[in-house]
Chains A and B, each alone.
Chain A
């Protein structure tokens, strides 16, 4: 089946540094990927839609200059958290649409970011 791989699964960084999270579609091409964030005991919140070859579309309230998204190929989207602060500590999850039509998403395993 369609697999989305995220890397790293866990990352710890110092406040002020930048962290890059990769999201890869392993056996299919994904023109569109989605990035979500999840705080403890809360639901997933959509951050942005990543479109291959064009700029990402950010949800209201999400700072585009802080969460840089690049979707340079049909199998890779990256999320860079710039100048990370402790409040950016969260579980970041990417997803991609499987084929056309039904709008079913397959999700990565998530990346847990801890900012010290």
Chain B
């Protein structure tokens, strides 16, 4: 699986957009970008995933660069409950592939 690089921590004011970057310069053509988050002492939560097109759902937007070497997860209006560790993971959609977590970005949303 391709490795990802994320900043260890970020801050964001409540109500503002949180933009979390992820570099995945060695991503393969059949690998997706997945985002999960883990709120303290809970199990991870799926957020969004994409292959090459930008994606949006009720939780977030995912912007993938044209060369697919990086992406940004956008939380449009961060709330205090969005404080969590966010993990960017690249892998294929094959069921045999395992979800391997890196170190993620710790997002702190402040009032």
Interface residues of A (CB under 8 A from B): 4, 6, 32, 34, 36, 43-46, 49, 91, 93, 95, 97, 100-110, 112
Contact = CB atoms under 8 A, between A and B. Distances in A.
A102 B98 CA distance: 12
Contact of A46 (B46, B87, B92, B99): B99
Interface of B: 32, 34, 38, 41-46, 49, 87, 91-95, 97-104
B41 A91 contact: yes
Secondary structure type dominating chain A contacts:
strand
A107 B104 CA distance: 17
Given A102-B49, A104-B34, A104-B49, A44 B44 contact: yes
A109 B46 CA distance: 13
Secondary structure type dominating chain B contacts:
loop
B43 to A, nearest CB: 3
Contact of B101 (A44, A91, A110, A112): A44
Most interface-central of A32, A36, A102, A104 (chain B CB within 10 A): A104
B73 to A, nearest CB: 15
Given A43-B101, A102-B49, A104-B34, A109 B43 contact: yes
Given A4-B43, A36-B101, A103-B91, 17 more contacts: A6-B43, A43-B102, A91-B41, A95-B43, A100-B95, A102-B32, A102-B49, A102-B93, A103-B32, A103-B93, A103-B97, A104-B49, A105-B44, A105-B46, A105-B99, A107-B45, A109-B43
